[in-house]
Amino acid sequence: MKNTIFTGAATAIITPFKDGGIDYEAYARLIDWQIENGISAIVAAGTTGEGSTLTDDEHKEIIKFTVEHVNGRVPVVAGTGSNDTSYAIELTKYACEAGADAMLVVTPYYNKATQNGLIKSFTAIADASTKPIILYNVPSRTGCNITPATAAVLAKHPNIVAIKEASGNISQIAELAALTKGELDIYSGNDDQIVPVMALGGKGVISVLSNLMPKETNDICMDFINGKHASALDAQLKLLPLVNALFCEVNPIPVKAAMHAMGFGENSLRLPLTEMEEKNEEKLLALMREQGLI
């Protein structure tokens, strides 16, 4: 049996920007606040961290900074995926040397790939890694889906230990769980599906919501694990309006606005992402006030 990287909620953490660069002061405060509030892991430079618009140097710097600042308090997962397999290998090797505990590797975007291409690409990255790999399946953003059969093949690789499933397709996730038979830990990639995915054997969630509510998001997972299924479901459903508001525009536009309102950096994104539309931001902030977040 492969080792589990984390159980519970991991925050797909934002990257605060200031004056065109990374605001490391705000980022450090956010990391500390996350850990103080019981988050199970930190995922750096992923989709929510705007990894796709970080320069090569910034991408490496933020991985290194996250590892050093977390300092072993929780696992650090580094986003090292790319639509260029050779670049993904380069980033993965760097993150391994920098001390990241695991890698989050997204499917190739834009150029896409056949299922055979996915197997070859992920295998090449996993062969080059000295740390565990979490596959990241988010076809709505990449145009490329990891089928359950492909995931089952990849699960045979000793370094491929988990998958972040953000397809939104519960039937596919059920088939994935059936085919992999515990060889691949499954994490929900959608905050509105934490309980359903855990009911299929999932280990938790890689979350956007937990940027705002680390304790509450982690508690949903832990309640489910501890057999408090009704409590986990109740919390999941109560937070659904806020979750929907966080995804009413493309991620991470809303969560950047939310974290700015909570004092964690400027509401600054890199093009082609732009600031949240005013009417949507008003709804988001109203829901945050209901939760006592601002």
pLDDT at 8: 98
Q: Is residue 48 part of a domain?
A: yes
Predicted structure pTM score: 0.97
pLDDT at 290: 96
Q: Is residue 198 part of a domain?
A: yes
Q: Is residue 27 part of a domain?
A: yes
Q: Is residue 36 part of a domain?
A: yes
Please confirm, yes or no, whether 18 is among the known catalytic residues. Answer: no
What is the count of structural domains for the chain? 1
Q: Is residue 292 part of a domain?
A: no
Please confirm, yes or no, whether 164 is among the known catalytic residues. Answer: yes
What distance in Å separates the CA atoms of residue 294 and residue 291, rounded to the nearest whole number?
8
Choosing from 64, 136, 203, 256, the catalytic residue is 136
Q: Give the tens place of pLDDT for each residue, 187-232.
A: 999 999 999 999 999 999 999 999 999 999 999 999 999 999 999 9
Q: Is residue 26 part of a domain?
A: yes
Return averaged pLDDT per consecutive 10 residues of the chain, 294 residues in all: 93 96 98 98 97 96 98 98 97 98 97 96 98 97 96 98 97 98 96 98 98 98 98 98 98 98 96 97 98 96
pLDDT at 2: 86
Q: Is residue 115 part of a domain?
A: yes
CATH of the domain at 184: 3.20.20.70
Choosing from 164, 187, 203, 256, the catalytic residue is 164
Q: Is residue 232 part of a domain?
A: no
The amino acid that residue 177 corresponds to is: A
Instruction: Tell me which residue range forms the domain holding 112.
Output: 8-225
- Residues 6 or more apart in contact with residue 193 via CB below 8 angstroms: 168, 170
